[in-house]
Structure 1
């Protein structure tokens, strides 16, 4: 499955949740490289996800960017499906 399809499915799921707003982070030359693909807020928690397909691997820069968001209190992860996202956010009340 293409990463763009996985990302669209995740965004659809997140935006269907009450108390959640999620966007696709369209990278460009003004933002810098390595930024997560999806930014969201869910019930007051910030989420940052890097989307990969089954064979995709994050770059060192992507992992570094995720670690900075995590250090600031965000829920982060490399996600390959809606189920991966569900596991990461299941404890948010």
Structure 2
């Protein structure tokens, strides 16, 4: 699956659920490099998605940005097509969470990457 195909699936999924705001980042010369492809707010939680095709590989800068998002208390994910079902489950769980933000440290510590078996540092 190409990154564009994955992007279409992710956007369709996000649009089909309530309490989700998101935008697609369009890279260019006027923005900071390495910003994840899709930025979301799901039921009050910040989620950033770096999308990759089956054969794609994140750059060191993209990996660093995902790590920094996770360290800051957001949820940063490098999403491959093979991780799409797990991603949908994550979004559904976050969307149904009724805990106050300060009490939801379990979700804030998810810190996961769907990288087809390789763990990002």
Q: Give your verdict on TM over 0.5.
A: yes
Residue 86 of structure 1 deviates from its aligned partner by: 1.6
CA distance in 2, matches of 1:22, 1:84: 19
Q: How does 1:39-78 map to 2 (within 5 A)?
A: 39-78=39-78
Structure with more of its chain in strand, by fraction: 1
Q: Is the 8 A contact 1:49 1:77 kept in 2?
A: yes
Residue 16 of structure 1 deviates from its aligned partner by: 1.2
Unaligned residue ranges in structure 2 (runs of 5+): 98-121
Residue 90 of structure 1 deviates from its aligned partner by: 4.3
CA distance in 2, matches of 1:30, 1:21: 23
Q: Mean alpha-carbon deviation: is it higher for 74-83 or for 35-44?
A: 74-83
The answer for the alignment partner of 1:83 in structure 2 is 85
Unaligned residue ranges in structure 1 (runs of 5+): none
Return the index of the structure with the highest Cα Rg: 2
Structure 1 runs, 4 residues or longer, greater than 6 Å off: none
CA distance in 2, matches of 1:64, 1:53: 19
Deviation per CA, 1:3-59: give whole Å up to 9, x if none.
Answer: 011111101101211101121111111212111001000000011010001111111
Query: Aligned Cα RMSD in Å?
Result: 1.4
